[in-house]
Amino acid sequence: MAVKGLGQLDKEYDGSKLRVGIIHARWNRVIIDALVDGAIKRMLSLGVKEENIIVETVPGSYELPYGSKRFIDAQKKKGEPLDVVIPIGVLIKGSTMHFEYISDSTTHALMNLQDKVHIPVIFGLLTCLTEEQALARAGIDEAHSMHNHGEDWGAAAVEMATKFGPNAF
Amino acid sequence: MAVKGLGQLDKEYDGSKLRVGIIHARWNRVIIDALVDGAIKRMLSLGVKEENIIVETVPGSYELPYGSKRFIDAQKKKGEPLDVVIPIGVLIKGSTMHFEYISDSTTHALMNLQDKVHIPVIFGLLTCLTEEQALARAGIDEAHSMHNHGEDWGAAAVEMATKFGPNAF
Amino acid sequence: MAVKGLGQLDKEYDGSKLRVGIIHARWNRVIIDALVDGAIKRMLSLGVKEENIIVETVPGSYELPYGSKRFIDAQKKKGEPLDVVIPIGVLIKGSTMHFEYISDSTTHALMNLQDKVHIPVIFGLLTCLTEEQALARAGIDEAHSMHNHGEDWGAAAVEMATKFGPNAF
Amino acid sequence: MAVKGLGQLDKEYDGSKLRVGIIHARWNRVIIDALVDGAIKRMLSLGVKEENIIVETVPGSYELPYGSKRFIDAQKKKGEPLDVVIPIGVLIKGSTMHFEYISDSTTHALMNLQDKVHIPVIFGLLTCLTEEQALARAGIDEAHSMHNHGEDWGAAAVEMATKFGPNAF
Amino acid sequence: MAVKGLGQLDKEYDGSKLRVGIIHARWNRVIIDALVDGAIKRMLSLGVKEENIIVETVPGSYELPYGSKRFIDAQKKKGEPLDVVIPIGVLIKGSTMHFEYISDSTTHALMNLQDKVHIPVIFGLLTCLTEEQALARAGIDEAHSMHNHGEDWGAAAVEMATKFGPNAF
């Protein structure tokens, strides 16, 4: 019995009225770029307009929570508020405990961010033990063993913004 | 001496006046569906009316806390406020650390959600090391080795809403 | 040198004016009951009046923080406010990660609860790796290897309420 | 190259105008007493007046955060507000997971306490795997292998109160 | 394929109008000093003026979050508010669990600090299992195996202040 597997969308969503922010770290750039592309393609396929996808960057994953917050603030100040944000980062276990403390604090902070910014925050953080794991989850390992997880994040962003975003009800 | 084992209800509850929200992730769907069914059946057996059980979904478990919050908001806005919510998700350990960070942040966020929404939040998250463990806890492994944990959540929801819900006192 | 060992009370306390709430989970009921009895006996020995010890229950340990909060609210609303609360639960390691996530989130939530309810919350949670460990800490393993930890919690409740409770100064 | 080692004070501080609270748990009392003595001696050597060091106790380490908060409140109410507080406790790993959950929740709560009480909170918690480790860090193991860590806490208290205390600027 | 590696700046930044605070612990001083130097040099190379880099210290890493908060307060009170702060500390695993609890609570507190002080906080904490790892990350191990991580923090500070600082938009 194949119980596991990708959570499918519960219906086709129309993203044509949504504004989506992507904010990504710049470490492990090849992997990040593939994930960002995957998220964008999936959102375009769900009707999000290219001009309504705004991309910003931060140096590393630890900067994602505060960077996301201020990115959201800045878009609001411009009169172009976001309906949802996808922070994207790739953390790979090294020899110190840096990976564990960054992963843990960033995950909690992104979760808690939602109550401060009042829009959904999609969890686009890969927390991998090896580089190979990260490549696979971006759909770019040599064996093409997995799909590009950015696609899931793009779909989740459209669904969450439509169901639970600031203009959903 | 059999000390462990299911906590029994301390009395028979009458759920006929309660409105209950179930919000579930869609990963590991076969298991999720069994758990949702178990929760619903138990609540019906305690008098909750079918039309007072509202079901919503989110893509994955990380979306449960904010999804729950907005689901509760939406029901309130409709004039049909919930007395209790049961977020349901199934997390299974994979090869990266994704399981650990999602499990940890989601568990804390569901706990803390209660102080923001002022209704009880029942912990319907399975955090399993294998798929087999999750199937067993949904009552659908081949050996039928365990009961459906959704039943416990349904009973807990009725009890907590009756004792401690927004209309309890 | 015997450095470890039970922290003794720093003086004899008079609990005759205190109102104490005990709220306990109902899993592992034999152990829970022994712990609750231990706490009550110790408080009676320190002068707390039987009618001033109020006992409530929740299904499981995860329900303790919000249950405690609402239990405290309810007593206040009745005009019978509590000076201190003792949430009691027994968590035993199983094969999934349920134990770890419940233990961690519940411990943090009980700690943080104090700033919301403005009364001391005594930590009456056993987080055991085996059933035998829990039986021992309730004073009911066959070897009677340890004292009933509920007694410590009862003493701590009287001390904390007297020194730091809402009517302490 | 000796890179590690005790952080030295960056200058000689004059503690003569400071009021310092010490609040300690009473488990592992021999070790606690040595640590408290170490902290007091160091503060006296930096000019803190004996009558300006106030000592309070709680049963165990889990009681330190709320105990500290109320201790600070009480001193303020008396018109004798504290400039800094040193909560002191000794946690030693046992056979259950009690050590881990208490250590983690207490450490976080003491950290977060600072934003509520608006004075520095010095971290006087030993989280040891063996009793021998705790004895060593109190300067009282037979080999006298380490200095008394209470001294560091006393020095940190004077520095933090002087630089960052409520009357620092 | 070289996927990992330092996240490069996304453009050349002009730091000439920024005021930056560095606050560092004093344990493991040789390593700390190298990291502080690295951060300062990188910021100078990005145009930050020497007189606009203010350096403060605390005894140990646990003091960094509250010390940072009050350092920021003090600069604001002087009429010289900071645009960004870099707390720097070096934690090295010892035989007790001190390393784990300090690292965890300090990382979370520095993350959360950003929402209180409304300026970016750069994560300048090394959490190493050995002294050799820390020396390498400060660029001062004998093999010169790694670059000085303080440089990354300096660059991140300039970028984050420029993009997301209090005067960014």
A26 interface with E at CB cutoff 8 Å = yes
| CATH number (domain holding residue B155) | 3.40.50.960
The answer to whether the CB of A151 falls within 8 A of the CB of A39 is yes
The confidence score (pLDDT) of residue B7 equals: 59
Mean pLDDT of the residues in chain E: 95
**Helix H or strand E encompassing D153:** helix D149-164
Distance between CA atoms of E109 and E114, rounded to whole angstroms? 9
Residue C146 · residue C139 · CB < 8 Å: yes
Residue D8: pLDDT band with limits 50, 70, 90: confident
User: What b-and-e string marks burial along A41-61, b requiring 16 or more CB atoms within 10 Å of the CB?
Assistant: ebbeebebeeebbbebbbbbb
Chains that touch B (3 or more CB pairs under 8 A): A, C
Mutation to test the A interface, candidates B28, B63, B113, most A Cβ within 10 Å? B63
Answer whether B62 touches A (CB < 8 Å): yes
User: Is B149 an annotated catalytic residue?
Assistant: no
List the 64-123 stretch of B: residues with Cβ below 8 A of A.
Answer: 65-67, 69-71, 73-74, 77, 92, 95-98, 100-102, 104-106, 108-109, 116
| DSSP category for residue B166 | T
- pLDDT-derived band at E7, boundaries 50, 70, 90: low
What is the SS3 assignment for B53?
strand
Residue C2 lies in a domain: no
DSSP chain E: ----SPPPPSS----TT--EEEEE--TTHHHHHHHHHHHHHHHHHTT--GGGEEEEE-SSGGGHHHHHHHHHHHHHHTT---SEEEEEEEEE--SSSHHHHHHHHHHHHHHHHHHHHSS-B--EEEEESSHHHHHHHTT-STT--S--HHHHHHHHHHHHHHHHSTT--
- Mean pLDDT computed over E63-74: 98
How does the average pLDDT of chain A come out, rounded? Answer: 95
CA–CA distance, B140 with B137 (Å, rounded to integer): 8
| Chain Cα centroid distance, residue E39 | 7
Q: Is residue B15 part of a domain?
A: no
Number of domains in chain C: 1
Looking at the complex, report in whole angstroms how far the Cα of residue E5 sits from the nearest Cα belonging to chain A: 6
Helix (H, G, I), strand (E, B) or coil at A33: helix
From chain A, the residues in CB contact with E119 under 8 A are none
Lowest model confidence (mean pLDDT) among B148-157, C146-155, D3-12, D129-138: D3-12
pLDDT digits (tens, 9 = 90+) for B112-121: 999 999 999 9
C-alpha to C-alpha distance for A99 and A111, rounded to whole angstroms: 18
Query: Which structural domain, as residue segments, surrounds residue C150?
Result: 20-164
* Percentage of chain D modeled with pLDDT above 90: 94
Give the distance from residue C10's alpha carbon to the nearest chain B alpha carbon, in angstroms. Answer: 35
Examine the pLDDT at E12 and tell me if it is beyond 60.
yes
- Asked whether residue D86 is assigned to any structural domain, the reply reads yes
Q: In angstroms, rounded to a whole number, what is the distance separating the alpha carbons of residues A82 and A160? A: 12
CA A149 – CA C11 distance, rounded (Å): 61
Q: From the candidates C24, C98, C108, C118, which is the catalytic residue?
A: C98
CA nearest to E161, candidates E86, E83, E51:
E83
Instruction: Compute the average pLDDT of residues D2-31.
Output: 86
Sign of CA dihedral D159, D160, D165, D168: positive
Q: Are E18 and E46 in contact (CB under 8 A)?
A: no
Average confidence (pLDDT) over A10-18: 96
User: What is d(CA D7, CA E102) in angstroms, rounded to the nearest whole number?
Assistant: 16
A89 has which bridge partners? A125
Token reading at C56: 């409530």
> Edge-to-edge, what's the strand order for the sheet holding E20-24?
E53-57, E20-24, E84-92, E124-128
pLDDT of B5 > 60? The answer is: no
Is it the case that residue E4 has pLDDT exceeding 50? no
From chain D, pick out residues whose CB is under 8 angstroms from the CB of C115. 66, 69, 116
E-strand stretches of C41-147 = 53-57, 84-92, 124-128
With beta carbons under 8 A apart, name residues in chain C contacting B8. Answer: 26, 29
Which helix (H) or strand (E) segment holds residue C98: the answer is helix C98-117
CA distance B34 to chain A (A): 12
Helix axes B64-77, A149-164, angle to 10 degrees: 20
For chain A, the chains sharing at least 3 beta-carbon pairs closer than 8 angstroms are B, E
Contacts of C70 in chain B (CB under 8 A): 163-164, 168
Q: Are C153 and C41 in contact (CB under 8 A)?
A: no
Nearest to E97 among D10, D127, D160 (CB): D127
Chain segment D88-116, per-residue pLDDT in tens: 999 999 999 999 999 999 999 999 999 99
With a CB cutoff of 8 Å and minimum separation 6, the contacts of D93 are: D99, D128, D129, D130, E97
Whole-angstrom distance, CA of residue C132 vs CA of residue A68: 48
Chain pair C-D, CB pairs under 8 angstroms: 103
C-alpha span between C150 and C148 (Å, rounded):
5
Split at pLDDT 50, 70, 90, the class of C8 is confident
Q: Is A touching E (3+ C-beta pairs, cut-off 8 A)?
A: yes
Residue B84 dihedral angles phi and psi, to the nearest 5°: -165, 155
Three-class DSSP category at B88? strand
Name residue A109's amino acid: A
Does the residue C51 lie in any domain? yes
**Is residue E79, in this structure, part of any structural domain at all?**
yes
Indicate which residue of B24, B98, B108, B144 is catalytic.
Answer: B98
B110 close to B103: Cβ distance less than 8 angstroms: no
Instruction: Return the number of CB contacts < 8 Å for D and E.
Output: 103
Max Cα–Cα distance, chain B, nearest Å: 51
Does the residue A3 lie in any domain? no
The count of other CB atoms within 10 Å of the CB of residue D156 is 25
Q: Is residue B2 part of a domain?
A: no
Residues of chain D with C-beta less than 8 angstroms from the C-beta of C159: 58-59
Q: What is the pLDDT of residues C66-106, one digit of tens each?
A: 999 999 999 999 999 999 999 999 999 999 999 999 999 99
Q: pLDDT tens across E80-137, in order?
A: 999 999 999 999 999 999 999 999 999 999 999 999 999 999 999 999 999 999 999 9
Nearest C-alpha in E relative to A58: E160
Task: Test A10 with B57 for CB contact under 8 angstroms.
Answer: yes
The H or E element containing residue D116 is helix D98-117
Query: Closest Cα partner for E31 from E154, E100, E96, E124?
Result: E124
The predicted pLDDT at position E21 comes to: 98
Write the pLDDT tens digit of every residue in A43-87: 999 999 999 999 999 999 999 999 999 999 999 999 999 999 999
pLDDT at B8: 79
| D79–chain C nearest CA distance, Å | 13
- The reported pLDDT for the residue numbered B4 is 46
How many beta carbons lie within 10 A of that of residue B147, not counting itself?
Answer: 14
Q: Do chain C and A touch: 3 or more Cβ pairs under 8 angstroms?
A: no
Shortest CB distance from C26 goes to which of B7, B110, B120? B7
User: Is B160–C29 a contact, with Cβ atoms under 8 angstroms apart?
Assistant: no
* Stretch (H or E) spanning D55: strand D53-57
Phi then psi for residue A83, to 5 deg, are: -90, -20
- Which residue from B127, B149, B122 is spatially nearest to B61, judged by alpha carbons? B127
pLDDT at A6: 54
Sign of CA dihedral A128, A130, A136, A139: positive
In this predicted structure, what is the pLDDT of residue C91?
98
CB–CB of E105 and D111 under 8 A?
A: yes
The proportion of chain B whose per-residue pLDDT surpasses 70, expressed as a percent, equals: 96
Chains that touch C (3 or more CB pairs under 8 A): B, D
Closest CA to A108 of C108, B2, D93, B137: C108
Averaged pLDDT for residues B156-167:
98
Q: Are strands D84-92 and D53-57 parallel, antiparallel or unpaired?
A: unpaired
Contacts of C104 in chain B (CB under 8 A): 104, 107-108
The pLDDT value recorded for residue A7 is 60
D129 to chain E, any CB pair closer than 8 A? The answer is yes
- Taking an 8 Å cut-off on Cβ atoms, the answer to whether C135 and B3 are in contact is yes
The answer as to whether B53 is a domain residue is: yes
pLDDT on residue A8: 79
Residue D27: count of CB within 10 angstroms of its CB: 22
Q: Which residues of B touch A121 (CB under 8 A)?
A: 66
Q: What percent of chain A stands above pLDDT 70?
A: 96
